[in-house]
Structure 1
Amino acid sequence: MNASEITLEDGPSKGVYRLRGPDGAAAELSFSKAGTTMIIIDHTDVPDAFRGQGAGLLLVERAIADARASGKKIIPLCPFANAQFRKHPEWADVLKQ
């Protein structure tokens, strides 16, 4: 499992990062867009088949990489994403204060 397997469905007001496993199960991170400069991570869903493999962290890292590349800030409303931001102070540059 690696970041290159993550796909992005990007709509006008919402988006979903998705990581599919070989059995078709998918881990997902959904977000809402708040204007043109901010996204709100609102949910991370990791099925049992992915637990303990770092799937959720990979999804958050991809969202961070994309936010950095586009100059956006992130509000991590999702409890998992919020906990990851607390564990990774090096992500402070994209965290909306």
Structure 2
Amino acid sequence: MVNHDIKLSEQDHKGRAYLEIDGQTRAEMTYSLAGSKLLIIDHTEVDESLQGQGVGRKLLDKVIELVRERKLKVLPLCPYAKAQFEKDENIQDVLRGK
């Protein structure tokens, strides 16, 4: 498991959770804010050298932490995020429509 901190960055209505190693973005999950109550997860990308180490899930967990703090709901358009929500009942409370 990679032991680096996942960071968040937002500008206007767009944001991302990302992992930098040696000044390079090696993994990121991008999202858009739609209004004041909905966060749409658009895309997840993890560098090939980090795949299989749970980095994508760490990105998702960071976004879910933000969603819970702001009392938002999530619409996962990204196939990776959507699959994670389908597999894990512990995070389904933040899905839109729940």
The normalised TM-score by structure 1 is 0.91
Aligned partners of 2:25, 2:49: CA distance in 1, in Å?
7
Give the conservation status (yes or no) of the 8 Å contact 1:37–1:72. yes
Letter of the structure 1 residue corresponding to residue 90 of structure 2: E
Letter of the structure 2 residue corresponding to residue 73 of structure 1: K
Q: Deviations over 1:45-82 (max 9, x none)?
A: 01101101100000001111110111000000000000
Higher strand share goes to which structure?
2
Q: 1:72 maps to which residue?
A: 72
* Percent of residue pairs identical: 39
Give the conservation status (yes or no) of the 8 Å contact 1:26–1:46. yes
Q: 2:46 maps to which residue?
A: 46
The reply to whether residue 9 of structure 1 matches residue 9 of structure 2 is: yes
Q: How many corresponding residue pairs?
A: 96
The normalised TM-score by structure 2 is 0.90
SS of 1:53's partner is: coil
Q: 1:32 maps to which residue?
A: 32
Unaligned runs of 5+ in 1: none
Q: Deviations over 1:9-30 (max 9, x none)?
A: 1111100111123583510000
- RMSD over aligned CA atoms reads 1.5
Give the conservation status (yes or no) of the 8 Å contact 2:33–2:39. yes
SS of 1:36's partner is: coil
The Cα shift of 1:90 comes to 1.3
